[in-house]
Amino acid sequence: MNDLDFWLGAWADGRVGSRVNRPDNILDTYWSSLKPETGKRVLVPLCGRSRDLAWLASNGFVPIGVEISPIACRSFFAELGVEPVRTSCGPFVKWQGSGVTILQGDFFDLDGAYDAAVDRGALVAIPPAHRMAYTNHLHARLAPGAPILLVTIEFDPTRDAGPPYPLFPDEVRRLFPGSAELARTPYRRRRWEHVGGATGVVWGARTAAPAGES
């Protein structure tokens, strides 16, 4: 079974919905520190039905999520109380409403250029063997110097096979050179008791600027 089959099955079986959309203030607290420009297109890979999309739209940004599951897309707009417009867009189905666009399809089919990114579950959902391919594609889709807000999770990998998969600072800094740790918070959910606890880490990063710029 490939990764897309796994996530399609997870949404169909209800194994994702119970653990998404927990309220927090990560965007309120850290997004502005990356100095993103309002009115710009913000890429949200593997977005599920994340409330981050609505937050970005309500704060003057243009969020574009990418999600494989039609269940997740439909659920996002249903929670907003919005009937989305659906159109074909190359290899994707485009869902639009209330200033939010979700492209239903494979992230690796995505083209175009985006001005910033919020990754709060995509990288840690990717099997470790595919992290570099995912990160390379993410960087390729972003403008030079684009801000990236990244949230990772750390826990004992010998006690849970994932997903999500733990990601530690050395690898984050290898995948996102120059990234800076902004915060770390222990997760106190019962879900993580069996691995001895887990820690969420917020990172600020940028794509490489053109030569000669800082």
211 domain-assigned: no
Domain enclosing residue 46, as ranges: 3-14+24-206
70 domain-assigned: yes
147 domain-assigned: yes
* Crossing angle for the helix pair 70-80 and 3-12, to the nearest 10 degrees: 40
117 domain-assigned: yes
| Domain count within the chain | 1
What CATH number did the domain enclosing 51 receive?
3.40.50.150
213 domain-assigned: no
214 domain-assigned: no
94 domain-assigned: yes
Residue 28, φ and ψ in degrees, nearest 5: -55, -40
113 domain-assigned: yes
Render each residue's pLDDT in the chain as its tens digit; 214 residues: 356 666 556 666 666 654 444 557 999 999 999 999 999 999 999 999 999 999 999 999 999 999 999 999 999 999 999 999 999 999 999 999 999 999 999 999 999 999 999 999 899 999 999 999 999 999 999 999 999 999 999 999 999 888 899 999 999 999 999 999 999 999 988 889 999 999 999 999 999 765 444 4
Pick the closest to residue 168 from 123, 207, 133 (CA basis). 123
Give the global pTM. 0.90
